[in-house]
Amino acid sequence: MQHARLVPRLAKNLLAQNLLAQNLLAGGGAAASALASALWIAICSAAPEFIWRGLLITFGHIDRPTVIAALLVGLFLAFFIEPAIERLRSLLQGSHHPGHGTGWRRSALFTAAIGVGFAFASFCLHAAMTAVLARQEGAHAPSSATVAAAIALTVAWAIVPFAVTLAWLSLGRLWRAVPLGILAAASSFLAGWLFDWTMQDIAATAIPCLAIQLLGYRAVGGEPQERAFLRCAWSLGRVAAIWLIFALLVDAVLGFAHLDRFAFYDSTSFWMDVRFYLGWALGLLFAPFPFRPTRPAAAL
């Protein structure tokens, strides 16, 4: 009789332990996915400025051999590398017919033209990013100093979107939402302290980013959940547009009153912020939402 009672108890304990292990693994996977999405968005925020600086360097020294080399590499990428990757992706996804499910077949000429165009652009972007890393007294290869400067540039631009995204994804769990929300609100000041920003730079970042963070909470909490980042991108775009126009008007008034030293932007920093908000919005459009639709955003 005792053995008969012991077996159900053991089975019940094993089942409880199995469910606990599954919950722990699911929680760890959700946290890792949230970190990956936040990093994804943060890198996209820094990418436009990084690429822009590289393009200025690259096209400032472009010559005929560079263009020919870009076209040659583009041909190899378009006609060999990209089709190989696409076929492998189709095989891994269980589809053996490229273009399956699209409803129409592209012509070879159209496919080739698009492929060469994107490959050429990819080569130029790669050259641009390499130029940023190697820019030091005409160097052609990255040095430790320039790599450190490039990393600092990326971190300076990525730290606020990274912290804000984590704050959004922690919505619903008070013990995580509060500290991550405070960290996100303070991230502009933290970045300013780490990278010696001026008070105007800190204010020009903190004011709109705090509004973006607060509006993002409502966007993330809406339905359908898988479109949360799309709603965040839309609210970010509105805040950025309103802020940039408002800052320009304030700077114009300050300039008229001969108080330019208090202005938020100069001609260079204004367009830097335009590229920052553009990259942040694109990151929200590119990055997948880390949780399944059936899982609440509080799963972080």
Q: In this predicted structure, what is the pLDDT of residue 55?
A: 75
More confident residue, 95 or 276: 276
How much is the average pLDDT of 35-59?
Answer: 83
pTM of the predicted model as reported, rounded to 2 decimal places: 0.73
User: Would you list the domain boundaries of the chain?
Assistant: 40-299
Q: In this predicted structure, what is the pLDDT of residue 79?
A: 74
Instruction: Indicate if the pLDDT at residue 140 is higher than 50.
Output: yes
Q: In this predicted structure, what is the pLDDT of residue 144?
A: 67
Instruction: Indicate if the pLDDT at residue 57 is higher than 80.
Output: no
CB–CB of 27/299 below 8 Å?
Answer: yes
Residues written for the chain:
300
Please, what is the Cα angle at 229 between 174 and 225, to 5 degrees? Answer: 65
User: Considering only 57-61, 182-186, 254-258, which range has the smallest mean pLDDT?
Assistant: 57-61
Alpha carbons 285 and 280: distance in angstroms, whole number:
9
Distances in Å between the Cα of 184 and the Cα atoms of 104, 210, 252, 284 are 46, 8, 30, 17
Q: In this predicted structure, what is the pLDDT of residue 26?
A: 42
More confident residue, 290 or 38: 38
Query: Would you place residue 16 in the very low, low, confident or very high pLDDT band (cuts 50, 70, 90)?
Result: very low
Residues 6+ apart with CB under 8 A from 275: 48, 49, 52
Helix, strand counts (H, E) of the chain: 9, 0
CB–CB of 216/232 below 8 Å?
Answer: yes
What are the pLDDT digits (tens) for 149-201? 778 888 888 999 999 999 999 887 788 889 999 999 999 999 999 998 989 89
Residue type, 213: Q
Residue type, 85: I
Give the pair of three-digit tokens for residue 207: 């004011």
CB–CB of 78/115 below 8 Å?
Answer: yes
More confident residue, 48 or 3: 48
